[in-house]
Chain A
Amino acid sequence: MMKRIIYIIPVIFLLTVFVFAMLHLLPGNPADILLAGEGGAEDPVVRAALMKELGLDQPLPVQYGIWLWRALHGNFGKSVYSQEEVFILILSRFPATLMLAFSAMIVSILVALPAGIISAVKRQKPADYAAMTFALLGISLPEFWFGIILILAFSLWLRWLPSMGFLSPFEDFLGSLRFLILPSVALGLRMAGVVTRMTRSSMLDELGQDYVRTARAKGLPERTVIILHTLKNALIPTVTIVGLQFGTILGGSVVIEMVFSWPGVGQLLIESILTRDYLVVQAAVLLIACFFLFVNLLVDFIYTILNPRVALE
């Protein structure tokens, strides 16, 4: 396990190099690029000052060092668009994205686990086919389109739910749920499909094991067999998949936040790209990737606890 943690360090290092390179791979002088964003000034004095601050007269490795040092202290510069500190800006948006991501995962698991289990237990029967169709649609439909369809159905036609907006759960819990449902369902669709399939497959594996035959031979009622014995084991690979799918959720949230105007990091990222606010883009990309890395590490850790037979390389 320690080895895994140590392996992360060179990966993060490479990440930072890539993100740092982003600004310098763009055509033109970084100072000009940053100033070209909305809100930027064309004053040559400002430009010269910016160049000095970025250290653009120094060799590249030195620039990288300066940038990295500042980044480690949480200094990612100021947004050209809003003049806010980039780090603070991103942090302020993170909770909304996390809220969306976790509720998407919860919704998705609440649907997918039972679907997968029922599907495995009643294989080749109508329930199985229904669940498999659902899973297939889940992985084939574009989530943002599904989100649009949900808006069409529930906001425009039925008028049951709002199509966009955000309310903090700390202000009004029930009210915030109204805004949360549609984006969560849209975001969780793909993961629901993947988890359903995975659960079905690992349940089928477990149900075919010898110990299940033994339990049935002992005369244990079918339900006990399923719940007590197979579920526990079948859930282990499912946990890994859920962890891996978190990346898909993070990526999907970028698009879903745009569809529902959800004020999270994804929306911030896209808006910053469109307004050429590249300092924000850099920092957001780096922070999202790091976050994803740590979630993966956490999932690995949980997996080793659940399944002590697995020896990490």
Chain B
Amino acid sequence: MRILNHISVADAALPVRLTLSKLLARFRDRFAEFRKSRLAFLGILLVICVVVIALLAPLIQMHDPLQQNVGNRLQRPSFEHIFGTDHFGRDVWARIVHGARVALSVGIIAVSIGIFFGLPIGAVAGYYRGKVDEVIMRVMDAFLAFPPILLALAVVVILGSSLFNTMIAIGIVYIPRFARVIRGSVLVEREKEYVEAAKMIGEWNLSILFRQILPNCLSPLIVQATVFIAYAILTEAALSFLGLGIAPPNPSWGSMLNEARLFMESDPLLAIIPGLSISFTVLGFNLFGDGLRDILDPRLAER
């Protein structure tokens, strides 16, 4: 299977720390293969690029992203404003750079919410099966019945438009999706011998679930998480584009696109730049996810 193939019954009794070090050892082995894939490397580079920009945003902004200067509106790129200014005279580069913060924070926190709630739900459903599984999965199906943007929309309508609510809304979209992924992995793992062995030793169910089974489910989870971060960034952009996500005047790549529509004919750059930013970021995470999939589960690797 994946990295933790050979964790045997004997290991089942060892504390979690040692298991993690085995995980890291296997990871190091696979890292050599990872570097061979140029695309995956490009992915990591893009992601690191965006992360660094987001972290350093207040330092590299050069101008205040909220500072309006109507006399200076719709300027072409220049030394003063390297991406030009928008229809309120705000510096586009500063807004892009802060938009990176918004995009990344929404992506990471929404996925974290999804994992935080989805993991226990899916794990419990997959392990205990029976009625518990049925009920849980029906509820999850009800949430999965909504196309993702629609559910996020519905939640934002209820809670109101803000950065925090957008994170929650998208997080809620991911809870059932992570639950499904984990449940699938747990269903497979619970049939394996080390689980039977642990039961024979008399280990508690919950302990088996969280200390034995789940570490072996990490690989698909990590890959999914990366891909979901990418999709979360797209969803946040869509919500903001519709005027329902991050409320103006706070910068968000999606709302910048929306505002640019009015000036498309005269200043197409205003519409092109935020879109390119979104695309590069999402592309980076997708490539990174592909690369991770290659290392963590060679069977699924691109042939």
Which of these binds chain A: B6-14, B85-93, B152-160, B203-211? Answer: B152-160
Q: A142-B237, A247-B147 are in contact. Are A285 and B275 (CB under 8 A)?
A: no
The answer, yes or no, to whether A270 is at the interface (CB within 8 Å) is yes
In contact, B287 and A289 (Cβ under 8 angstroms): no
In contact, A152 and B271 (Cβ under 8 angstroms): yes
Alpha-carbon separation in the docked complex, A114 to B282 (Å): 25
Which of these binds chain A: B22-30, B51-59, B62-70, B137-145? Answer: B137-145
How many residue pairs bridge A and B at CB < 8 Å? 120
Interface string of B150-178 (1 = CB under 8 A from A): 10011001100000000000000000000
Contacts of A251 in B (CB 8 A): 147-150
The answer, yes or no, to whether B247 is at the interface (CB within 8 Å) is no
The answer, yes or no, to whether A211 is at the interface (CB within 8 Å) is no
Question: B170 CB to closest chain A CB, in angstroms?
Answer: 13
In contact, A148 and B261 (Cβ under 8 angstroms): yes
Q: Which residue of B lies closest to A153 (CB)?
A: B268
Contacts of B279 in A (CB 8 A): 137, 140-142, 145
Which of these binds chain A: B112-120, B192-200, B212-220, B238-246? Answer: B238-246
Which of these binds chain B: A14-22, A36-44, A71-79, A223-231? Answer: A14-22
CB neighbors of A among B177-200 (8 A): none
The answer, yes or no, to whether B278 is at the interface (CB within 8 Å) is yes
Alpha-carbon separation in the docked complex, A11 to B282 (Å): 32
The answer, yes or no, to whether A111 is at the interface (CB within 8 Å) is no
The answer, yes or no, to whether A26 is at the interface (CB within 8 Å) is yes
The answer, yes or no, to whether B264 is at the interface (CB within 8 Å) is yes
Contacts of B146 in A (CB 8 A): 285, 288-289, 292
CB neighbors of B among A1-44 (8 A): 7, 10-11, 14-15, 18, 22, 25-26
Alpha-carbon separation in the docked complex, A156 to B142 (Å): 43
Interface residues on A, range: 35 or more
The answer, yes or no, to whether A56 is at the interface (CB within 8 Å) is no
Contacts of B303 in A (CB 8 A): 123, 204
Interface string of A238-262 (1 = CB under 8 A from B): 0000000001101110110011000
In contact, A288 and B278 (Cβ under 8 angstroms): no
Contacts of A11 in B (CB 8 A): 138, 141-142, 145
Contacts of A290 in B (CB 8 A): 145
Q: A145-B279, A149-B272 are in contact. Are A289 and B150 (CB under 8 A)?
A: yes
In contact, B257 and A252 (Cβ under 8 angstroms): no
In contact, A145 and B275 (Cβ under 8 angstroms): yes
- Write 20 A-B pairs (CB below 8 A) sorted by A numbering: A10-B138, A15-B142, A18-B142, A141-B278, A145-B271, A148-B260, A148-B261, A148-B271, A248-B147, A248-B148, A250-B147, A251-B148, A251-B149, A255-B149, A255-B241, A255-B242, A270-B244, A285-B150, A289-B147, A292-B146
Task: Give 10 closest A-B pairs by Cβ, nearest first.
Answer: A251-B147, A145-B275, A14-B142, A251-B149, A140-B283, A247-B147, A140-B282, A250-B147, A11-B141, A289-B145
Further pairs besides A139-B286, A148-B257: 13, Cβ < 8 Å: A15-B145, A22-B157, A22-B158, A140-B230, A140-B283, A141-B275, A141-B282, A144-B237, A145-B279, A152-B268, A156-B268, A285-B150, A292-B147
